[in-house]
């Protein structure tokens, strides 16, 4: 089997339009396939990475989960050092809290989208040390 990579990740969200706008405004994604499926799912993407946004059940609630649960822990995006630093400034400017972690081979920041999905931006470009 020869795979090219991950095509998209499907996320359930409380408000599809709000989430799509957030990913476009905050992370610079673009809308894709707008004329398809009456907007469900709503596809947004950047480069070869896409996210399909589906409406969550109106009665759904977020439940705290633990690292040992079987689930996706976070969705990570890669950036070069310049854009990693820019991302931190942009998140600060927007009042979005994030946590920095030094993983020795990479640096990462972790934050959440409007529905609480855990996101990461990571860089392996440590020449200037973040």
Mean pLDDT by 10 residues, the chain (130 residues): 87 95 97 92 94 88 65 89 96 97 95 94 81
| pLDDT, position 129 | 55
| pLDDT, position 2 | 81
Does the fold of domain 71-130 match that of domain 1-58? yes
Per-domain residue ranges of the chain: 1-58, 71-130
Q: Show the 3-state SS of the chain.
A: CCCCCCCEEEEEECCHHHHHHHHHHHHCCEEECCCCHHHCCEEEEECCEEEEEEECCCCCCCCCCCCCCCCCCCEEEECCHHHHHHHHHHHHHCCCCCEEEECCCCEEEEEECCCCCEEEEEECCCCCCC
Q: What is the CATH number of domain 71-130?
A: 3.10.180.10
| pLDDT, position 80 | 94
Superfamily (CATH H level) for 1-58: 2,3-Dihydroxybiphenyl 1,2-Dioxygenase, domain 1 (3.10.180.10)
Q: What is the pTM of this model?
A: 0.86
| pLDDT, position 66 | 65
């Amino acid at each position: 089997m020869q795979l090219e990579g991950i095509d998209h990740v499907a996320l359930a969200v409380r408000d599809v339009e709000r989430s799509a706008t957030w990913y476009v405004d905050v992370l610079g994604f673009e809308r894709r396939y707008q004329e398809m499926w009456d907007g469900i799912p709503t596809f947004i993407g950047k480069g070869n990475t896409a996210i399909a946004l589906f409406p969550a059940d109106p009665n759904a609630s977020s439940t705290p989960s633990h690292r040992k649960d079987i689930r996706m822990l976070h969705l990570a995006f890669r950036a070069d050092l310049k854009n990693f630093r820019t991302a931190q400034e942009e998140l600060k400017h927007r009042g979005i809290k994030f946590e920095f972690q030094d993983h020795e081979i990479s640096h990462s920041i972790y934050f959440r989208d409007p529905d609480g999905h855990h996101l990461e931006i990571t860089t392996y470009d440590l020449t200037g040390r973040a």
